[in-house]
Amino acid sequence: QSSDYQVREQGEAQSMGYRAFLLGANGKTLSPWHDVPLKSPLGGGEIFHFVVEIPKESSAKMEVATDEPFTPIKQDIKKGKLRFYPYNIRWNYGLLPQTWEDPNHANPEVEGALGDNDPVDVVEIGERRAGLGEILRVKPVAVLAMIDEGELDWKVIAISVDDPKAALVNDESDVEYYFPGTLTEIRDWFRDYKVPDGKPQNRFGLGNKAAGKDYALKVIQETHQAWVKLVTRSVPAGDLSL
């Protein structure tokens, strides 16, 4: 449960030194990537934990520091400057713990693209704005295969089980019905967010549209297996902190 965890912030928000560390119920520092279980014990195997890196309606590009001990959340830096999206992200955004997109694995279903060396991203479409470092229980309902500068960067679309519409939304067709236009809006947001910086649009595999829940569950299973290989040292970790 999210009540089992708390967040300890260090440094000033929107500064290079800012870090948000995850603490367990006993006050021990944990890794939000490695130590939070992927699956929630409730929900028959299809409810997962989601770590919020970027609360909805904010623009600071926060992310788990995969190369630092305990992988705290920090603001991304590019060319010596803190990164911000050119406009707010309209959903809660973050990662699935205990998943990894293997940069040595060429995905035959998505143009042979290699993984982006990060945990799998989640776009959570519920109405509540979550807090940075908060852990929600979510159910995946769809997935987009984003190709960012040649790397495969999955976007799992999910809804918090505590959202008022959660019981109604179980697949991509339900998202279209109860959240009309949202799947297209998410795709277009991620397609275009780098354009103001002079970069090309991102592309998408799988026919340029969201695949359904079953495909999302397959992606989660495969990337969890890749993470298992990573932490059991059966593939080299490179700069990643385990």
| Catalytic site positions | 85
**What's the rounded Cα separation, in Å, for the pair 60 and 76?**
8
Q: Within 10 Å of residue 9's Cβ, how many Cβ atoms? A: 14
- Cα 203 from chain centroid? 18
Q: How far is CA 165 from the centre of its chain?
A: 21
Residue 43 Rama label (left phi>0; alpha psi -120 to 50; beta)? left
Q: Which residues contact 143 (CB under 8 A, 6 or more apart)?
A: 154, 155, 156, 157, 210, 211, 215, 216, 219
